[in-house]
Amino acid sequence: MNSIVCPKCGKFIESLMGSLCKDCYIQKYDLAHLPHVIEVDICSKCGAMFDRGQWNDRKDIEEIIMEKIEKHLLIHDEAKNIEIEYDILKLSTNKYNVKVKLDATILGENLKQTIMTEVRVSFRSCDVCSRISGGYYEGIIQLRATNRLPTRKEKERSLSVTSEVLGAQYNKGDRFSFITDVQELKAGLDIYIGSSKAGRNVCKSIEEDLGGHFLESPSLYGQKDGKELYRITFSMRLPEFKAGDIVHVNDKLVLIRSVGKTVNVLDLSTGTRISLKLKELDNANLVGDINNSKSTVLVAKEDDMIMVLDPFNYRTITMKKPLHLEVDSGKEIDVIKFEDELFVLP
């Protein structure tokens, strides 16, 4: 077989690679290339990184640096079995020296290379932090209750649900899923949020958790790039009745245990648990709540009957034992009176 002379080193070889022998070809090209200086924009408040025209989720500063270097690192097309090691040295709050060590094989030859680069960090506010500080919002959730005021517990739970939903939406990529402001009013809460889409999901979750319903009212507030911009007011109405209320419905006196898409109640006559549709409470009458109860004494208990001291006239009443009654004779129990009849509370 005829030999070929490498035009660079003069070595006799059987074939050329890109007009050079294998060794010269490898030496001609670096294993990798990296700019001497790399610029990184990071939000000074949340740590998000600006890349390719948009802000990305917050990360650890060293993770951001390595990610930025990987996007600028050009590796030889023929390189295989590539191993990369980073050595990051912080020089100041916005300057880092980075040593990048590479180990790879090209055409069966093992090559190593070390590249130095400087990463310069510019700190500024991202789009989300800028809008939060500027009071930006796309939606208002007006939390109210039907024919009553929301309780402290309902307000706290609604805020908790709002935070949970907005956090989940943010993790899914909706960067405007944040609370801009919360105003506590006598009638309820006004929650200002950055994303109207997230606001809709918040209301659905409150509806699922606490019951009620909501309506949407959009209002035009400006234009951007020829597109009309709307803010949406979500009128979130909690149900008229809440957990702990005692109501008369369907000819039964019941204690409401929880309210959501369905209402879980306890029949105070029998002690049985019942699930009602929220709409079934439309014709219910509020009798009181567990705070209106009176303490009295369970005089005797035998089989399925009990004797209770009426705290209103101090007479002994004989009645059927409800399933939820578990205390022994002589102990105190809580009762409520409705239409001259005593009902034992759990």
* Average pLDDT of the residues of the chain: 86
pLDDT top residue among 28 and 50:
50
Helices and strands in the chain, H and E counts: 5, 25
pLDDT top residue among 19 and 195:
195
Structure-block tokens of residue 292? 């209106």
* Highest mean pLDDT out of 111-120, 152-161, 218-227, 319-328: 152-161
> What's the rounded mean pLDDT across residues 114-119?
90
pLDDT at residue 325, rounded to an integer = 84
Give the residue carrying structure tokens 């006239």: 313
Structure-block tokens of residue 208? 């699922």
Query: Please, which pLDDT band fits residue 157 given cuts at 50, 70 and 90?
Result: very high
pLDDT at residue 29, rounded to an integer = 65
Coil, helix or strand for 196?
helix
> What's the rounded mean pLDDT across residues 236-265?
91
Residue 97 has pLDDT above 90, yes or no: yes
pLDDT at residue 18, rounded to an integer = 66
pLDDT top residue among 265 and 222:
265
Q: pTM for this structure?
A: 0.67
pLDDT at residue 158, rounded to an integer = 95
Residue 77 has pLDDT above 90, yes or no: no
Residue 192 has pLDDT above 60, yes or no: yes
> What's the rounded mean pLDDT across residues 243-255?
91
Rounded to a whole number, what is the largest CA-CA distance in the chain? 124
Alpha-carbon distance values, 180 to 84, 128, 140, 201, 249 (Å): 42, 10, 10, 17, 41
Query: Please, which pLDDT band fits residue 28 given cuts at 50, 70 and 90?
Result: low
Pick the range with the lowest mean pLDDT from 9-23, 88-102, 166-180. Answer: 9-23
Residue 1 has pLDDT above 60, yes or no: no
Alpha-carbon distance values, 255 to 238, 258, 284 (Å): 18, 9, 12
Cβ 230 vs Cβ 193: under 8 Å: no
Query: Please, which pLDDT band fits residue 145 given cuts at 50, 70 and 90?
Result: very high
Percent of the chain at pLDDT exceeding 90: 30
> What's the rounded mean pLDDT across residues 237-266?
90
Pick the range with the lowest mean pLDDT from 223-237, 247-261, 307-321. Answer: 223-237
Which of 112, 126, 21 lies closest to 64, judged by CA? 126
Query: Please, which pLDDT band fits residue 123 given cuts at 50, 70 and 90?
Result: confident
**Rounded CA separation 48/327 (Å):** 59
> What's the rounded mean pLDDT across residues 216-222?
83
Residue 73 has pLDDT above 80, yes or no: yes
**Rounded CA separation 297/311 (Å):** 8
pLDDT at residue 222, rounded to an integer = 72
pLDDT top residue among 24 and 58:
24
Structure-block tokens of residue 258? 């929880």
